[in-house]
Amino acid sequence: MQELEFDPERLYYSISEVAKMLDTSQSQIRFWETEFSMLKPKKNQKGNRQYTQEDIRLLRSIQHLVKDQGYTLQGASEKLKSDHRLEKKRIDVIDTLKNLKGFLQEIKDQIPD
């Protein structure tokens, strides 16, 4: 699956695009919205969710805490409230490392055997 990346010119992403970025379902994202009060994506006139880059970072933090670290929903919510800035930095580092890994893989693939 090709991971979508942030476009600095773009302000909003649809729920389907965010689901692809996170490799999760749209229903999972909607569920997290009900469980995490700090997650409030903007909705357009039709009621479609519009996620900002900050919303996506928060969703990545939630996913990391719940899926990777094994936090309960309540525990993840408390953790995010208490040290949101620190967790955001961790997720940014993880994203940077993933991008670096992809870049290095591309370079490796270009080297003849």
Q: Can you give the pLDDT at residue 110?
A: 92
Rounded to a whole number of angstroms, the distance between the first and last alpha carbons of the chain is 26
CA angle 82, 12, 99 (to 5 degrees): 70
Q: Can you give the pLDDT at residue 107?
A: 93
**Which of the four pLDDT bands, split at 50, 70 and 90, describes residue 4?**
low
CATH of domain 15-110: 1.10.1660.10
pLDDT in tens, 12-53: 999 999 999 999 999 999 999 999 988 999 999 999 999 999
More confident residue, 100 or 113: 100
